[in-house]
Each structure stands twice: as structure tokens, then as C-alpha cells.
Amino acid sequence: MDKLSSLSLKELQEIKGIGPAKAMQIKAVFELNKRCSLAKDGMHIRTAKDVFSYASPKLCDKDKEHFIRKQQF
């Protein structure tokens, strides 16, 4: 299992001992971690690399174009 965070709910439930509730908890933990990592205090976007660092975790699993804006902290 290379990427536990990328597994779907169905795929997680195929793992012995993981039912629907536990699969949902696992997905929620990864989502919370992703959101917390984006909420860095004092983050400034000055370069294309900064944009990539900010946006790629939010957009990596999307299959179409999305627009996002940096929230004020």
C-alpha cells in the first residue's frame, strides 16, 4: 500500500478490520491534515513555487479546472 491517503472508501473497507465507519474516520483524518497544512500562519505568496505549494494539496485530486483564492489569516 503506497498511498493510504489516496484510497477510496470502498478500497479502505477491503482492508481486513476496516468497516464503513473506520474508513470514513481515516478519510477525515487525511482531509483534516491537508487543511491544517494549508493554514500556515504568515504564509506569503511571492513566487510561482509559493502558489504551487499552496494550491497543489487542494487541487491534486481534482479532475477539472478549479479557481481558488488565498484566504486571509
Q: Indicate the average pLDDT of the chain.
A: 81
Which carries the bigger pLDDT value, residue 70 or residue 33? 33
Compute the Cα dihedral for 45, 47, 51, 52 and give only its sign: negative
| pTM of the full structure | 0.52
Determine phi and psi for 70, rounding to 5 degrees: -75, 125
Instruction: Choose among 52, 49, 55, 48: nearest CA to 70.
Output: 55
Q: Provide the pLDDT for residue 24.
A: 95
Per-residue pLDDT for 73 more than 50?
no
Q: Provide the pLDDT for residue 40.
A: 60
* Beta carbons within 8 Å of 1's beta carbon, 6+ residues apart: 7
* Beta carbons within 8 Å of 34's beta carbon, 6+ residues apart: 57, 58
pLDDT, tens only, 35-54: 776 666 566 777 888 888 88
Query: Rounded to whole angstroms, how far apart are CA atoms 38 and 40?
Result: 6
pLDDT tier, 72 (very low <50, low <70, confident <90, very high otherwise): very low
